[in-house]
Amino acid sequence: MKWVRCVSVGTIFLLLSATICTFSCSRPESYKKSQTVAEVTEFMFGIEAVYAEKGEYPFCSKSVNAVTNLSSVLCFLQAVPCLDKEGKERTISYVNIDKERDNKEGYTDPWGRPYHLILKSDKSSVLKVGRFDISNNVAIWSNGPNRINESGEGDDICSWNIAVFRKKENMHNGAR
């Protein structure tokens, strides 16, 4: 009887694994795009949360817009020092990252290319990325599937147009 249960559980596990593999293998680009959108969103929220708490962006000079290595910012966002209600020092993690994708080039997107990050320090200036004037103080983008930095154009996946990207993906996948 135990053998039958093991075979049944094993069969169910194999079928489930095959289904998951078939789904993920048949749609790798859309999965990577969705993963990139989720990561860019998480990084933006983490950076903005630190700004809300500390009053400044991590690793940003007060006088110059900073083109920063996202790896160092993400490392900081994983262990932000703060005080709890009792005044005791502790750390908060604002992001979860895959350590295997953090290398000498920087933290990489699902296509293996480093993310790009610009932090705006001067509130009166406009953050420019390529031909775009960004209304936010933070700009993060991935080169996208073609792995070419088009400064927010082409298939780049950007923090400043994630809502547009999601709408395009939903329309492409048949959702409304």
What does 131-147 look like in DSSP terms, one character per residue? TEEESSSEEEEE-TTTT
For the chain, percent of residues with pLDDT exceeding 90: 28
pLDDT on residue 15? 44
Backbone φ/ψ region at 10: left (φ over 0), alpha (ψ -120 to 50), beta: alpha
The one-character DSSP state at 155 is: T
Residue 16 lies in a domain: no
Residue 48 lies in a domain: yes
Q: Look at 173 and 85; give whichever has higher pLDDT.
A: 85
Q: Look at 119 and 24; give whichever has higher pLDDT.
A: 119
Residue 63 lies in a domain: yes
pLDDT on residue 170? 58
Residue 99 lies in a domain: yes
Per-residue pLDDT for 32 more than 50? yes
Most confident of 9-13, 32-36, 93-97, 136-140: 32-36
Angle at 71 between CA 24 and CA 137, to 5 degrees: 100
Per-residue pLDDT for 168 more than 80? no
Residue 148 lies in a domain: yes
Buried (b) or exposed (e) across 63-86, using 16+ Cβ within 10 A?
eebbebbbbebbebbbebeeeeee
Structural domain harbouring 126: 30-172
pLDDT on residue 41? 93
Give the distance, in angstroms, between the CA of residue 103 and the centroid of all CA atoms in the same chain. 16
Residue 11 lies in a domain: no
Interatomic CA distance for residues 114 and 144, integer angstroms: 10
Interatomic CA distance for residues 151 and 130, integer angstroms: 5
pLDDT on residue 165? 59
Q: How do residues 47-83 score in pLDDT, each as one tens digit?
A: 888 888 888 777 665 544 556 667 778 878 888 887 8
Residue 19 lies in a domain: no
pLDDT on residue 24? 42
Residue 17 lies in a domain: no
Total domains, the chain: 1
Predicted confidence band of residue 27 (pLDDT cuts 50, 70, 90): low
Per-residue pLDDT for 6 more than 90? no
Largest CA distance in the chain: 74
